[in-house]
Structure 1
C-alpha cells in the first residue's frame, strides 16, 4: 500500500516578526521543519513532499535531501488550499500522512499510529486534550460511539463549542483517493475566506467513512510555534524532556532546568554535568567524566576520567576533537577542530589548541597557542608561547619531540622541529630546527643604561 508523507511548511509566520521563514527557526539547534522530517525518517514512503510558500527558496535549500520533493503554495489560502496544490504529486491509492512543519515534536510512534489506523480506509485525526484550547479547532464527537463528527475552527465555533477542550492538532492520515476527491470539493465560505482542510471531516461522515480520533501522548507533542514566546517555551519543554531521559539513564545534571542539548549526547557511568552547559552536534562522554559550569562542547569525544573545567569551549566541527583519559582542560580553555589530547594531558586557562595532537602527559597550562602541531609525551609548554603556523598564505606544522621544555613567551615559527628532550629558553623566537637534548636561546642581549630618565608629561 502506497504511503505519502506531506508536510505543510508554506506559512509566513507573521507573528515571529522575522525575515526567516517560520519553519526554519531553530529548536535545540535544528530548524523546526528538520525535526518533523526526522520524525518520519523511519517510514518507507513512496513520496515525501514538503509544501512551501513564504521563503520557499530558502526553505527548500535548507532541507533538500534525496527522496524529498517540494510543491509550492502561492498564495497561501488555507490548509485545504495547500493540499489542493499537492494532489497531483500524491502516489497511489493508499495512505497520506499530513504533518505540520511548525509542530516539531511529533513522535515517530504517534505518526506510525496514524498511518496504521488509517490503513487506506479511514480518516484518522490526531487530537489532544488542552488546558487552554484557544486557537485550536474543536473536536465534535458522536455522543453514542465516540466517533468524530466534525472539527469546528476556533473562529467559527459557538460559545458552547469553545468549552470543548479536545482540540485538533492539524495532523491527520487520510485515504489518498478519498483525500483527492474531498479537497477538490472544498469551498471558502467561512469567516476567513480560506479553504479549511478540516471541512473534509464532514465529507467523510456524509460518505459513511470511518472518522477516528487518536489522542497525542502529551500536549507538548502537538504544540506549534507562532511567535518567539512559544518557541522559547517549546525549547524549554523539549530540553526538559531530554534532561529527564538522560538522568534516567544515569547522567547526573546539577540542574536540569539549566541544561541544553542541541544534538546527541552519549555517556558512560558516573558522569556529572554542572549548570549552564551546552552540548551540540555529537558528544560522547566516557565513564566518570566531569563537566564544569558554563561549558560549550560541540562534536567531541571525552574519554573516561577527564575533567573539563568551567567556561571551556570545545568545538570539533567536522574534524572532531578528542580529550584523552584523565586529561584536565580549562578553565577558560578552547579546543578547536582537530585538537587531539592524549591521556593525562593538561590544557590550562586561556590556552587554545587547533589541529594539534598532544601525546600523553603533555602540558600547556597558561596563556598559550598550539596550532598545527604535533607534541610529544611529557612536553611542558610555557606560558605565553605560541606556534606561528601561518605565513599569510599557507599553514605549516611544528613538531615537538617528547620531554621538550618550552620556556615562557616563546614563538616557534613553523615549519620547525624540536628534538626530544630539548629546551627552549624563555623569550626565544625559534626559526631553525633544534636537536635532541639541545638548549636553544634566541633573544636579544639585555642592556642596562645607567642614569636614564623616564620622559615626563608636559604640563
Structure 2
C-alpha cells in the first residue's frame, strides 16, 4: 500500500552551530532531508508532507519538486503539534500514515516499508532500538506479556522507567483516521509543555488498538543528527555501507575506510580503486578500470581498461577504453576521449573531442577543440579559444604533430598530417602534410656584454 508520509523538518538545530537549517546539512553530498525523501519514495509514497519551521523558505526551496508538499509549524510546540499541522494535508484514502524525521537520514526504505505493512491500517506500529547508551530517548514501556503500553519521555520518566533499555526511535506508522483523532486530543501538560506525539500510544492502548514495536538491529538507521560530530559519524557509516556493497560486487578497494561516494557509482568487473578517491553525481567505471589515489570524479563514464592516475580531476567527461589519464590531469565538462587516448600530467581538456590514439602528455591545454586520431600535442602548447568575448573552435586533423610551446589561435584548422614547429603561434589554417612555422628568426649578437651592477 502507498502510505501518507509526514517528515518532521521544522527544528532549528542549534547544536550544529550553523546558519544553515539542520536538515539541509549534507551527508554523502546530499542533504539530510533529501535522503529521507528518497527513503519515502522507496516506500511507495505518492506524496510526502514536509513540516517546516526554522529556515522554512530555504528548506522548501531546496527540496521542492513533484510529490513534495509543505506545511509550516510556527512556533514549534513539539512533535505532536507538528503532526497537527500536517493533518489537513493527509490523504484520507491512504489507510496508513508514516512519520519520519528529516535529521534521520539513514533509514532504509525496506525498514520503513515493513513498518507500514505491520501497521496495515489497523495497528499502531513503532520502530524501536536498544542503544548502548539510551541517553534521553523516550522509553518503551511494556506490560508483563510484552505488549507495548506507552512511551515515556525521559524528562517525565521515573528512575525505574529510565532503566529500560528499549527506546523509541521517533518513527511510527499509524492508521490515518485514528492518527487524526489522536493528535487532535493531545495535551501539553508535561515537563516540556509540548504536545508529544508519543502520547498517542497510550490513546491507542486505551481504545484497544494493538500497538507493536519493531526493534531495528542497525542503530545507524534510526540515528538522528544533532551536531557536527554526529554528522561525521554517520557520513563514515554511510561510506562504509557503500564500500561494503562495492566489495560484495567484486570491486577492489585499497582501503574501504578511505572512499567517498557522493552519488551513484556503478562498477564493472575487476575494477580497482586506490585511497582517498571521491565520486560525485553519476559515475560509471567499466571492466578493468583502475583509479589511482586522490582522484575526484564527477558525472563521468570511464571505459574498459582505462587507467586514471593519481590526483586527477574529472568532471562531465567520457573516457574511452584503454585510455591513460594523469597524474595531475583535469578533464572538464564536455571532454570526450576516444579509445587509447593519453592525457598526461598537468594537461587540461575542456569541451574537446580527442579521437583514438591522440596524445597530450605534458603541460598542455585543449579547449573547444576537435582532435583527430594519433595527434601528438606537444608540451606547453595550448588552444587559444577565447577572444575576450566569444569562444572559438580549433580543428586538428589526424596524424598532426604539434611541437612544444605552440599557441593555436582559434578559429583555426590544422590539416591532416601537418607539423607545427615548436614555439609557433598559429593564427591561420595550416595545410595538410606540410611543416608550418611562425616564430622570429634566431640571432646572436657578437660582443654583447651582460650588464653589471655599478659599485657604490
In the superposition, the TM-score normalised over structure 1's length comes to 0.97
Structure 2 gap segments, 5+ residues each: none
Distance 1:235 1:42 in 2: 21
- Structure 1 residue 56 and structure 2 residue 52: aligned? no
Alpha carbons 2:334, 2:352 under 8 Å: kept: yes
How far 1:454 sits from its partner (Å)? Answer: 3.2
Residue 87 of structure 1 is matched in structure 2 by 87
Alpha-carbon distance, 1:141 to partner: 1.3
Residue 352 of structure 2 is matched in structure 1 by 356
**Alpha-carbon offset, residue 303 of structure 1:** 0.8
Superposed, 1:85-164 pairs within 5 Å as 85-92=85-92, 94-144=95-145, 146-164=146-164
Q: CA deviation at 1:40?
A: 1.8
Answering whether residue 394 of structure 2 is matched by residue 393 of structure 1, we say no
Q: How many Å apart are 1:394 and its aligned residue?
A: 1.2
* Aligned residue pair count: 454
CA–CA separation in structure 2 for the residues paired with 1:12 and 1:158:
29
> Which residue of structure 2 aligns with residue 450 of structure 1?
446
Residue 420 (structure 2) aligned to one of 418, 421, 424: 424
SS in 2 for 1:41: helix
Task: Name the structure 2 match of 1:234.
Answer: 234
Cα drift, residue 420 of structure 1: 0.4
- CA deviations on 1:404-450 (whole Å, 9 max, x unpaired) are 00001111011110000000111111110011101111111222223
The alpha-carbon distance between structure 1 residues 451 and 98, as it changes in their structure 2 partners (threshold 3 A), is: same
| 1:340-381 per-position Cα deviation (integer Å, ceiling 9, x unaligned) | 111111100000001111111110000000001010011000
Instruction: State the alpha-carbon separation in 2 of the partners of residues 358 and 47 from structure 1.
Output: 46
Distance, in Å, in 1 between the alignment partners of 2:381 and 2:129 is: 61
Q: Distance in 2 between matches of 1:288 and 1:89?
A: 51
Contact 2:43-2:112 within 8 A present in 1 as well: no
Note the alpha carbon deviations across 1:64-122, whole angstroms, 9 max, x for none. Answer: 11121100001111101101111111111511111000000111111111111111111
Deviations 1:249-307 (A, max 9, x none): 10000000001111111111111100101111111111111110000111111111110
User: Is residue 43–residue 110 contact of structure 2 (8 Å, CA) maintained in 1?
Assistant: no
The correspondence of residues 40-439 of structure 1 with structure 2, limited to 5 A, is 40-45=40-45, 47-92=47-92, 94-144=95-145, 146-316=146-316, 321-439=317-435
Alpha carbons 1:47, 1:90 under 8 Å: kept: no
Q: Secondary structure at the match of 2:60?
A: helix
SS of residue paired to 1:256: coil
Q: CA deviation at 1:385?
A: 0.5
- Determine if contact 2:40/2:48 at 8 Å carries over to the other structure: no
Whether contact under 8 Å (1:352, 1:369) holds in the other structure is yes
- CA deviation digits over 1:376-409, x for unaligned, max 9? 0110000010001111121111000010000011
